[in-house]
Structure 1
Amino acid sequence: MTVIYQTTITHIGASARLALDEQMLITFREGAPADIEEFCFIHCHGDLAGSLRAASALKLGGQCYPVTAVGDVAEQNLRELGHITVRFDGQSTPEFPGTVHVRGPVPEDIAPGCELKFVA
C-alpha cells in the first residue's frame, strides 16, 4: 500500500463530534479560524503524495474504510487547507465537491493522537 496522505488529529473542536452523529467527519489543519475550528477535527497538516480516488482507502485509528466517491475539489481542499469532509455513507457519487464518501461504520469516537491516512 502507498500512503497518499498521513496526519494526526491534535485537537477536537467543541462541536466537532456532533458531525459524527450526521455520519460526517470534518477536518482542518492547525491554524483554522476559530469559528471553523469549533466544528472540525484539527490535525497537523501532511503532504498529499498522490491522488484521492474511489478505490483508495481511509485508515482512521484501527479501522479501514474503502473510498467510494471523491468530490471535484476534495483533493485541492485537503492539499491547501487540510480540509475535508468524510461521509460514512458509501455513496458512489459525491454529494458535494469537497466531500469524500467511504463505506463503513461511523467511528464511535476520535481522540487526539488518532492517525488519519489515505492509502492506495
Structure 2
Amino acid sequence: MTVIYQTTITRIGQSAPDALSDKMLITFREGAPADIEEYCFIHCHGELKGTLRPGNQLELDDICYPVTAVGDVAEQNLRELGHITLRFDGQTEAEFPGTVHVTGPVPEALQAGCTVKFVA
C-alpha cells in the first residue's frame, strides 16, 4: 500500500470533539480562520500524492477505515485547504461534495499528535 497523504493533528478546536458524537471528524490545516478552527481538528498540512477514492484506506494512528465514498470536491479541499469532513457511516454515495465516508467505529477521542493517513 502507498501513502498518498499523511499529516499530524497539532491541536483540537474546542467544539471539534462534539462532531464525533454525530459520527463526523472535520479537519483543517493550520492557519484556519478562528471561527472555523473551533470546530476542527487542526493539522500540519501534508501533500496529497494520489487520488482520493473509494477503496483507499484512512488510518487514524493505527486504526484502519475503508473509504466507501468521496464527494466531488473532497480531494480538492484536502489538497488546497487541508479541509475534509469524514463521516463514519459507510455510505457508498457522498452526502455532501466535501465529505469522505468510511466504515468503522467512530474514534472515542483523538489527541494532538494523532497521525492521519490515506493509503491506496
TM-score range, shorter chain: over 0.9
Map Cα deviations across residues 73-113 of structure 1 (whole Å, 9 max, x no partner): 00000000000000000000000000000000000100000
| Secondary structure in structure 2 of the residue aligned to 1:11 | strand
Return the offset for 1:61.
1.3
The amino acid of 1:52's aligned partner reads: L
Map Cα deviations across residues 13-54 of structure 1 (whole Å, 9 max, x no partner): 000000000000000000000000000000000000000000
The residue aligned with 2:12 is 12
Q: CA RMSD in A?
A: 0.3
| Secondary structure in structure 2 of the residue aligned to 1:4 | strand
Q: How does 1:34-53 map to 2 (within 5 A)?
A: 34-53=34-53
Q: What is the TM-score of this pair, normalised by structure 1?
A: 0.99
| Secondary structure in structure 2 of the residue aligned to 1:39 | coil
The residue aligned with 2:74 is 74
Structure 2 gap ranges (5+): none
Q: Percent identity?
A: 75
Please give the alpha-carbon distance, in whole angstroms, between the structure 2 residues aligned to 1:33 and 1:57. Answer: 29
The residue aligned with 1:83 is 83
Please give the alpha-carbon distance, in whole angstroms, between the structure 2 residues aligned to 1:62 and 1:42. Answer: 19
The residue aligned with 1:24 is 24
Return the offset for 1:71.
0.2
The amino acid of 1:91's aligned partner reads: Q
The alignment of Structure 1 onto Structure 2 pairs a total of residues equal to 120
Please give the alpha-carbon distance, in whole angstroms, between the structure 2 residues aligned to 1:52 and 1:79. Answer: 10
Q: What is the TM-score of this pair, normalised by structure 2?
A: 0.99
Return the offset for 1:62.
1.6
Please give the alpha-carbon distance, in whole angstroms, between the structure 2 residues aligned to 1:22 and 1:51. Answer: 27
Runs of 4+ in 1 over 3 A off after TM superposition: none
Structure 1 gap ranges (5+): none
